[in-house]
Each structure stands twice: as C-alpha cells, then as structure tokens.
Amino acid sequence: MKKAIVKYFYILVFITALIFIQKLYRKYILILRLEQNLPKYLENIYGIKPQVNIVILFNQVILEVIDIVSAKVSEEELIEVIKKHITEFYPLLNINRISIEVK
C-alpha cells in the first residue's frame, strides 16, 4: 500500500512538472511571435521599422524598442500603443510583468 502511494505521488509530481513546462513553453513561443510581429506592427503605424530586443528573465520580460526616435512620437504614446497591441493580440502575456524601454 505504501509503495502505491509513493508511486502515485511521483506520478503527480511528474504531471505537475509537465504542466508547468508546457505553460512556460507557450509563453516563450508567444514572446518569440511578439518579437517578430511587433516591428511590422509599428512600421504599419509609424512608417519606421524599429529593432525590437526582448530579454526574458524568470518572472519578467524586458522589451527594448530601438531606432524609433526619428518618428515624431512621444515615448508615453509609443508605450501605450505597444501595451495595447500586447493586450489585444497576446492576452496570455501579463502586461504587468513586461517592462517596455524606448531607446
């Protein structure tokens, strides 16, 4: 009986780890898609294709937008446009854990 309980416990731990890894994988794929699609989206709006760098930390994502300074747009407006795009097209990403830097 004791061996069966230990066996079920290990199976439960394994399944929990698989679910956690699957959630991380989904978020990673979404971040990669965001890195590819965000420059195209900003080019459609402002006419300038910026460079987008994304740094993934354990519990935070840092999104750097470079070379958008030549467009006559304030940083706050650009950050709001990016946040709106992320919440609209990538709802699984938590916008509170994404810091956006305009350079």
* pLDDT score for 67: 80
Whole-prediction pTM: 0.82
CATH number of domain containing 82: 3.30.300
Kindly report the CA angle at 64 between 62 and 69, in degrees rounded to 5? 155
Judge whether residue 28 has pLDDT over 80.
yes
3-state class of 30 per DSSP?
Answer: helix
Q: Say which residues have a Cβ less than 8 Å from residue 79's Cβ, sequence separation at least 6.
A: 100, 102
* pLDDT score for 35: 94
How much is the average pLDDT of 62-74?
82
Least confident residue range of 5-14, 31-40, 55-64, 69-78 = 69-78
Separation of alpha carbons 76 and 72, rounded Å: 12
Counted domains in the chain: 1
Helix (H) or strand (E) holding 64: strand 61-66
**Domain range holding 56?**
2-102
Separation of alpha carbons 73 and 80, rounded Å: 11
